[in-house]
Structure 1
Amino acid sequence: MSTTQTGFQTEIEFELPKGYVDEAGALHRRGTMRLATAADEILPLRDPRVQQNEAYLAVIVLARVVTRLGSLTEVHTGVIENLYASDLAYLQRLYEKFNASDDIEPELSSEKQWAAGGKTLRRITAVGEA
Structure 2
Amino acid sequence: MFQTEFEFTLPCGYLDEDGTLHRDGVMRRATAADEILPLKDPRVQRNEAYLIVILLSRVVTRLGGVAAINPKVIEGLFATDLAYLQNLYNRINRLDEPADADELAPGAGAARPGEFSATPSIN
TM-score normalised per structure 2:
0.77
**Residue matched to 1:127:** none
Bigger radius of gyration: 1
Aligned-pair CA distance for 1:68: 0.2
Q: What is residue 94 of structure 2 aligned with on the other side?
A: 100
How far residue 8 of structure 1 moved from its aligned partner, in angstroms, is 1.0
Amino acid of the residue matched to residue 22 of structure 2?
Answer: H
- Over aligned residues, Cα RMSD in angstroms? 1.2
1:26 partnered with 2:20: yes
Choose from 33, 40, 47 the match for 1:39: 33
| Percentage of pairs with the same residue | 65
Q: 3-state SS of the aligned residue for 2:43?
A: helix
Instruction: Show structure 1 runs of 5+ residues with no match.
Output: 1-6, 105-130
Determine the C-alpha separation between the residues in 2 that align with 1:103 and 1:77: 29
Greater RCO (CA < 8 Å, at least 6 residues apart): 2
SS for the counterpart of 1:92 is: helix
One-letter amino acid of the structure 2 residue matched with residue 38 of structure 1: A
Q: Distance in 1 between matches of 2:68 and 2:93?
A: 22
- Which residue pairs with 1:68 in the alignment? 62
**Runs in 1 of length 4+ with deviation above 2 angstroms?**
101-104
Structure 2: tracts of 5 or more residues without a match? 99-123
**1:28 is aligned with what amino acid?**
H
Aligned length: 98
Per-residue deviation, residues 34-86 of structure 1 (Å, max 9, x unmatched): 00000000000000000000000000000000000000111100000010000
